[in-house]
Chains A and B, each alone.
Chain A
Amino acid sequence: MSGTENTLVQIVKAIVIFAVILQIVPFILIAERKLLGRFQSRLGPNRVGFRGLLQPVADVLKLVSKEQSVPVTAVPWMMALAPLISIVAGVATLAIIPFGPPGAWGGDFGLYGIDVPIGLLYFFAFGSLAFYGLMLGGWSSGSKFSFLGAMRAAAQLISYEVAIGLSLLGVAMTAGSMSLVDIVEDQSGMWFIVPQFVGFLIFMVAGFAESARPPFDQPEADAEIVSGYNTEYGGMRFGSFFMAEYIEVVIISGIATACFLGGWRGPGPEALGPLWVLLKMSAFVFLFIWIRATLPRLRYDQLMSFGWKILLPLATLNVLVTAIVLVVT
């Protein structure tokens, strides 16, 4: 618990985390577009700024200056509220991702927003609240495609939330705590990716599904339902959904880093912790982009039966085996 920190430090940390993560989003955007270009033997954006590096700035300016259109059948206030829910739920989760141990940069504050004993549950709680953003957005748009997208999002999130929870349960059991700082501290000998390799695989697959990224992007499958829940959205409201999706990618990467790759651990003094965390998170973000470029989208029934019939039993088995091993040793 960060009971020793005073309110001022907490406020400063909140602002720093918010600012840094929001700056990361444009970087992921340009990285994704450039890498997708490379993966598909294209150049990618190369006109705005040096080698197209200013493309995200142009994208954001375009989104901000666009007109908001609202269909006649829509519920306007709810349509405005939905992207807000997505963003708030995403940013709130960022607070628990640990970038360094308490005292790494001197003083008695830790390099994380908050360290709560319910860490992983906090992640699940806001993850499930983020669903209401997609659901309300799709429902209130008053369009069939949006509605279908929202329904797919609902079914997908319910199915994969169970698997993602069980995959992290093994980690929590091994570390004996649900606080992410404690979990990283517990990986001093060995990163949890070794003993919890099955859990790691399940977490990554379910994480892709949770963030609705390809190949699990059924809620917005553009070849089937136009653009799913955000079909009727334009301008910065669409931009908010877009940003929330990237924040979700950052969160999944951050949780995976803390739970499986030893968080801030790496060569060099502890003060370098945040650098290691950022490096490991970048590797995960690259993986997200790589898989998006490589794998085709699953069919909807495949997605469902994969989640319930393969992933969930496997995750349960993983928890069971972990429990037996922990009791025996």
Chain B
Amino acid sequence: MWFQQVMFFLAGAGALGGAIGVVTLRNPFYSVLSLVAHLIFLAVLFLLLQAEFLAAAQVVVYAGAVMVLYVFVVAYVGGSDEPLRPEGGALRVLGPLFAFVLVVELCIALLGSSLGLIDSPGTDVPAGFGTPAEIGSLLLRRFLVPFEAASYLLLVAAVGAVVLARRRRGLEEQEVGA
């Protein structure tokens, strides 16, 4: 199992490094790229947790589709030499404050529950855990209502995008006409 442990630390370090890169890098293009790296390392962590389907979905949906759009937009309009300027004032105070609150919350959660489990080998996973079939039956039986609600939300978002795009095209036509 030493291989899994090595992979865990590599992927964990990669995910952390990617996440730190997102917030510290000045160039938005590199920032987006380190987010991509972060998501891929997260997928590796999912693989180590036997969640193959989740890992593949993570790469396909986030690294492969959502981040492609980010990269696309940033490469077009980001301006590679233009650094993101930090917002002054309130954010400078509020940001660390919220981060601190989050750290405290996580510490409470960790101390309260799972620290004792770190030395144990962990629970056994049932056969078929994390396979598409298993996740599919969970989504369509136990979690049917949330699943359908989420898909309805996506439908609304898609319709909204179409409406917004049409409205903007209408404006352009007016400008051309005038």
Residues of A within 8 A of B (CB): 116-118, 121-122, 124-125, 127-129, 131-132, 135-136, 139, 147, 150-151, 154-155, 157-158, 161, 177-178
Residues of B within 8 A of A (CB): 29, 33, 36, 40, 43, 52-53, 56-57, 59-60, 63-65, 68-69, 71-72, 75-76, 131-133
Q: Please, how many angstroms separate the alpha-carbon atoms of A157 and B60 in the complex?
A: 12
Q: Please, how many angstroms separate the alpha-carbon atoms of A131 and B64 in the complex?
A: 8
Q: Please, how many angstroms separate the alpha-carbon atoms of A147 and B43 in the complex?
A: 29
A121: which B residues are within 8 A, CB to CB? 53, 56-57, 60, 132
A129: which B residues are within 8 A, CB to CB? 40, 59, 63-64
> Given A122-B56, A131-B68, A139 and B132 touching (CB < 8 A)?
no
> Given A117-B132, A122-B56, A125-B56, A161 and B72 touching (CB < 8 A)?
no
A132: which B residues are within 8 A, CB to CB? 36, 71
Quote the shortest CB–CB distance from B32 to chain A (angstroms).
11
Quote the shortest CB–CB distance from B47 to chain A (angstroms).
10
Q: Please, how many angstroms separate the alpha-carbon atoms of A178 and B131 in the complex?
A: 10
Quick check: B59 and A154 within 8 Å, CB to CB?
no
> Given A151-B76, A154-B72, A178-B132, A118 and B52 touching (CB < 8 A)?
yes
Q: Please, how many angstroms separate the alpha-carbon atoms of A306 and B53 in the complex?
A: 31
Quote the shortest CB–CB distance from B100 to chain A (angstroms).
35
A135: which B residues are within 8 A, CB to CB? 68, 71, 75
Q: Which chain B residue has the least Cβ–Cβ distance from A127?
A: B64
Quote the shortest CB–CB distance from B113 to chain A (angstroms).
30
Quick check: B75 and A128 within 8 Å, CB to CB?
no
A128: which B residues are within 8 A, CB to CB? 59-60, 63-65, 68
Q: List 20 A-B contacts (CB under 8 A).
A: A116-B52, A118-B56, A118-B131, A118-B132, A121-B60, A121-B132, A122-B56, A124-B64, A125-B60, A127-B64, A128-B63, A129-B40, A129-B63, A129-B64, A135-B71, A136-B33, A151-B72, A154-B72, A158-B65, A178-B132
**Majority SS at the chain B contact face:** helix
Q: Which chain A residue has the least Cβ–Cβ distance from B131?
A: A117
**Majority SS at the chain A contact face:** helix
Quick check: A125 and B69 within 8 Å, CB to CB?
no
Tell me which of A150, A151, A161 contacts B65 (CB under 8 A). Answer: A161
Given contacts A122-B56, A128-B60, A129-B63, 19 further A-B contacts (CB under 8 A): A117-B52, A117-B132, A118-B131, A121-B57, A121-B60, A124-B56, A125-B63, A127-B64, A128-B59, A128-B65, A129-B64, A132-B36, A135-B71, A135-B75, A139-B29, A151-B76, A154-B72, A157-B68, A158-B68
Q: Which chain B residue has the least Cβ–Cβ distance from A140?
A: B29
Quick check: A139 and B75 within 8 Å, CB to CB?
yes
Q: Which chain A residue has the least Cβ–Cβ distance from B69?
A: A158
Tell me which of A118, A124, A154 contacts B71 (CB under 8 A). Answer: A154
Q: Which chain A residue has the least Cβ–Cβ distance from B74?
A: A139
Q: Please, how many angstroms separate the alpha-carbon atoms of A118 and B136 in the complex?
A: 12
Q: Please, how many angstroms separate the alpha-carbon atoms of A150 and B69 in the complex?
A: 13
Quick check: A118 and B53 within 8 Å, CB to CB?
yes
Most-contacted residue by chain A among B43, B64, B75 (CB, 10 A)? B64
Q: Please, how many angstroms separate the alpha-carbon atoms of A218 and B25 in the complex?
A: 32
Tell me which of B33, B60, B75, B133 contacts A150 (CB under 8 A). Answer: B75
Quick check: A147 and B75 within 8 Å, CB to CB?
yes
Q: Please, how many angstroms separate the alpha-carbon atoms of A128 and B53 in the complex?
A: 16
A151: which B residues are within 8 A, CB to CB? 72, 75-76
B133: which A residues are within 8 A, CB to CB? 117, 177
Quote the shortest CB–CB distance from B154 to chain A (angstroms).
14
B72: which A residues are within 8 A, CB to CB? 151, 154-155, 158
Q: Please, how many angstroms separate the alpha-carbon atoms of A129 and B36 in the complex?
A: 10
Q: Which chain A residue has the least Cβ–Cβ distance from B3?
A: A7
Q: Please, how many angstroms separate the alpha-carbon atoms of A201 and B103 in the complex?
A: 53
Q: Which chain B residue has the least Cβ–Cβ distance from A78?
A: B33
Quote the shortest CB–CB distance from A210 to chain B (angstroms).
12
The 7 closest A-B pairs by CB, nearest first: A128-B64, A121-B56, A125-B59, A117-B131, A154-B72, A118-B56, A124-B60
